[in-house]
Amino acid sequence: MTENKKLLGKRIKQIRKNKGYTQEKLSEVIGLETGSLSGIESGRYFPSLTTLEKMSVALNVEMKAFFDYEFAISVDDMKKIIVKNIDKINDSQIPYIYRFFDGMK
């Protein structure tokens, strides 16, 4: 769950910055304390549905854009996630994953 909070927070921050908003300005527009927005962007808190709706309107994006994590994860973070989860791979999945990586040569 923590990883999702961090990814959502990063994505919200990325969209906010792309739209030219400071935390203070967005907080003012949506009626949220700046500290609360900071907590959301840092992944400490999940925003409520109401807060997400207000952000969506203020930033002029569809709500689903906040969950498009592909753009919120750096390549280095992707590598860390892959390495972190490598031991969780089921033995029956290893041959498929091996063929995938072997085919990338």
Domains within the chain, CATH numbers bracketed:
2-73 (1.10.260.40)
Distance CA 7, CA 13 (A): 10
DSSP state of 80: H
**Higher local confidence (pLDDT), 53 or 77:** 53
Q: Which of 58, 50, 47, 53 is nearest to 21 (CA)?
A: 58
Tell me, what's the pLDDT at 72? 63
**Higher local confidence (pLDDT), 86 or 28:** 28
Cβ neighbours for 94, distance < 8 A, ≥ 6 positions apart: none
| Res 1 pLDDT > 70 | no
Distance CA 63, CA 53 (A): 7
pLDDT > 70 in the chain, percent: 96
Radius of gyration from C-alpha coordinates of the chain: 18
| Res 71 pLDDT > 70 | no
How far is residue 91 CA from its own chain's centroid? 30
Place 32 in a pLDDT band, splitting at 50, 70 and 90.
Answer: very high
Three-state helix/strand/coil letters over 5-66: HHHHHHHHHHHHHHCCCCHHHHHHHHCCCHHHHHHHHCCCCCCCHHHHHHHHHHHCCCHHHH
| Res 20 pLDDT > 90 | yes
What pTM value is reported for the model?
Answer: 0.67
